[in-house]
């Protein structure tokens, strides 16, 4: 469905409607970008150069707030939700009310994320998400003035997407209540308008009377999770994360240390070497003797917790399983042999929110009484493809002004997002069809890999993705996507009939 280039706008207090010709809107947005992009690009690069994890994104927050505050017509609230435990969230609003217009301003919102990953910086590209949000909002606001369109543009800075669902907290504070439409875009290896998985994390604690007993219990549990079969739901997964060293709830760890007591260095080396075959991409290990036995350090590329790639932790679990029944063998953590409690995060994902509890119950039953305690974080619902906004974006990418290469509609869900809390979709339990939503949300995943197929590029949350997120191509793609989302916003604000189509999915 191509959005009309000539749209109708309600005149204040008038029975008739005036016509606004937006046929040159793409050209205007290019002009707006040429003026604003150098400053915007610098902000995106500064955020990349200064990565800050969730709720500590002080510099990113300040850079964006200072930029928006410098623009004419914007009302900006820095640290807008600090009293509610979100010191790095912000809110900015631009109202265009032409002379004589007395009606209610139609509104479109943009979302900006800017938190980095623990230990590996912007290896998910949130510097680009922030750049897209503030750029699209800037371009759209200038277009409203240029064409005399009554409308409101809102941008909400949403911290801590990676670990604690910042949008869940903001949603509970009605941060998204003032707009029925919210737009954002996420960089990845390949482009697609696609859904995102539901997600829940279990935090499990394993206690032993000795250090080695605690390690054994934790590794037994991780082995159970690794070898689970028959998980309920669609495309469901459960992945363990060892809560030691550098770790986060949704990152496959890049370094894992495991100590083996009771065996020679040669035997340990031989055992691990036999396990380490081509199914472990780019994983390596070293083994040395220490005061307690043989300390193995396993290194790998890491990755996304929803990915099934075999990394260092998987190798350590398989090493444990290969040696655990050897007489006289015990295990330890070289970094801390005094602890008698080891915590494990279990990242669980499934395609549809309705199956998430079943997956969690399945994992709980498999673990049995091994954990001393189990707690969990807030679930991320699945995010569904908005039937109107998704197609509108795809249609734009097929026009000469927005050449982003192949931009398909896909049913594959590559990860999760807390933007699902903004959408809050309602799914038919039998057909899995999206029946309604609290908000209309566009979450466009756009490729920043030089190879359009994604081949040869690291995926989100792999350390090397950080490098992709700071390339000229990544910024160029972000600029195009920002103009496309600005065009969608302007045309929705200008045409009540198009806005009605975009919001038809909203819960009645």
pLDDT confidence of residue 164: 87
Residues 46 and 190: their CA atoms lie apart, in Å, by 25
Report whether pLDDT(1) > 60: no
pLDDT in tens, 36-89: 999 999 999 999 999 999 999 999 999 999 999 999 999 999 999 999 999 999
In the sheet that holds 255-261, the strands lie side by side as: 284-290, 293-299, 255-261, 330-332
**Mean pLDDT, range 24-31, rounded to an integer:** 98
DSSP for residue 21: E
pLDDT in tens, 293-346: 999 999 998 777 666 678 999 999 999 999 999 999 999 999 999 999 999 999
Residues 51 and 114: their CA atoms lie apart, in Å, by 8
Residue 6 — pLDDT band, cuts 50, 70, 90? very low
Other beta carbons within 10 angstroms of residue 166's beta carbon come to 28
pLDDT confidence of residue 17: 41
pLDDT in tens, 126-170: 999 999 999 999 999 999 999 999 999 999 999 999 988 999 999
Low-confidence winner among 5-19, 204-218, 466-480 (lowest mean pLDDT): 5-19
pLDDT confidence of residue 247: 65
CATH 3.40.630.10 maps onto the chain at 25-196+381-502
User: Which is higher by pLDDT, 11 or 329?
Assistant: 329
**Mean pLDDT, range 102-112, rounded to an integer:** 97
pLDDT confidence of residue 306: 67
∠ at Cα 293 (290, 295), nearest 5°?
65
The alpha carbon dihedral of 10, 15, 17, 18 has a sign of: negative
Which of 67, 52, 182, 194 is CA-nearest to residue 126?
A: 52
Candidate CATH numbers 3.40.630.10, 3.40.190.10, 3.40.250.10, 3.90.230.10; the one for domain 25-196+381-502: 3.40.630.10
pLDDT in tens, 456-507: 999 998 889 999 999 999 999 999 999 999 999 999 999 999 999 999 999 8
Report whether pLDDT(15) > 80: no
pLDDT confidence of residue 87: 97
pLDDT in tens, 387-417: 999 999 999 999 999 988 789 999 999 999 9
Q: Give the list of residues 6+ apart from residue 34 with CB closer than 8 angstroms, or none.
A: none
Instruction: Indicate the pairing of strand 107-112 with strand 151-157.
Output: parallel
pTM: 0.94
pLDDT confidence of residue 5: 40
Report whether pLDDT(104) > 80: yes
pLDDT confidence of residue 291: 97
Say what angle helices 126-147 and 58-69 make with each other, to 10 degrees.
10
DSSP for residue 116: B
């Amino acid at each position: 469905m191509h959005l009309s280039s000539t749209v109708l706008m309600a005149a204040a207090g008038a029975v008739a409607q005036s016509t606004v010709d937006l046929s040159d809107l793409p050209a205007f947005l290019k002009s707006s970008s040429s003026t604003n992009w150098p400053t915007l690009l610098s902000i995106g690069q500064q955020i990349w150069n200064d990565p800050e994890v969730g709720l500590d994104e002080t510099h990113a927050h300040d850079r964006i707030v200072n930029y928006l505050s410098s623009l004419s017509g914007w009302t900006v609230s820095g640290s807008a939700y600090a009293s509610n435990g979100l010191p790095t969230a912000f809110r900015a609003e631009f109202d265009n009310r032409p002379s004589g217009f007395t009606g209610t301003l139609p509104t479109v919102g943009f979302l900006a994320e800017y938190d980095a990953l623990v230990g590996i910086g912007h290896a998910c590209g949130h510097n680009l998400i922030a750049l897209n949000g503030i750029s699209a909002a800037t371009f759209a606001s200038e277009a409203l003035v240029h064409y005399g369109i009554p409308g409101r543009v809102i941008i909400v800075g949403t911290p801590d997407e990676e670990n604690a669902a910042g949008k869940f907290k903001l949603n509970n504070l009605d941060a998204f209540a003032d707009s029925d439409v919210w737009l954002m875009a996420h960089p990845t290896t390949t482009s697609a308008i696609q859904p995102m998985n539901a997600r829940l994390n279990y935090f499990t604690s394993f206690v032993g009377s000795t250090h080695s007993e605690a390690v054994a219990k934790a590794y037994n549990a991780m082995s159970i999770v690794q070898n689970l079969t028959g998980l309920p739901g669609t495309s469901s997964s459960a992945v363990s994360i060892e809560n030691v060293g550098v770790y986060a709830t949704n990152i496959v760890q890049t370094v894992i240390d495991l100590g083996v007591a009771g065996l020679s260095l040669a035997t340990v080396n031989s055992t691990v070497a036999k396990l380490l075959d081509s199914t472990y991409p780019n994983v390596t290990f070293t083994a040395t003797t220490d005061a307690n036995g043989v300390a193995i350090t396993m290194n790998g590329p890491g990755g996304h917790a929803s990915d099934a790639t075999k990394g260092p932790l998987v190798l350590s679990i398989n090493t444990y399983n290969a040696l655990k029944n050897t007489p006289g063998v015990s295990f330890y953590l070289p970094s801390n042999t005094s602890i008698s409690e080891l915590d494990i995060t279990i990242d669980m994902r499934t395609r549809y929110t309705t199956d998430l509890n079943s997956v969690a119950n399945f994992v709980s039953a498999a673990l049995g009484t091994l954990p001393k305690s189990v707690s969990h974080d807030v679930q991320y619902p699945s995010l569904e493809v908005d039937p109107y906004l998704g197609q509108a974006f795809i249609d734009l990418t097929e026009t000469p002004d927005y050449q982003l290469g192949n931009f398909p509609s896909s049913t594959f869900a590559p990860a999760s997002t807390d933007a699902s809390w903004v959408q809050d979709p309602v799914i038919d339990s039998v057909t899995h069809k999206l029946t309604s939503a609290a908000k209309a949300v566009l979450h466009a995943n756009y490729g920043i890999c030089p190879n359009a197929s994604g081949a040869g590029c690291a995926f989100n949350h792999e350390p090397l993705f950080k490098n992709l997120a700071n390339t000229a191509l990544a910024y160029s793609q972000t600029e195009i996507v920002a103009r496309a989302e600005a065009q969608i916003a302007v045309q929705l604000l200008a045409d009540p009939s198009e806005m009605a189509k975009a919001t038809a999915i909203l819960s009645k």
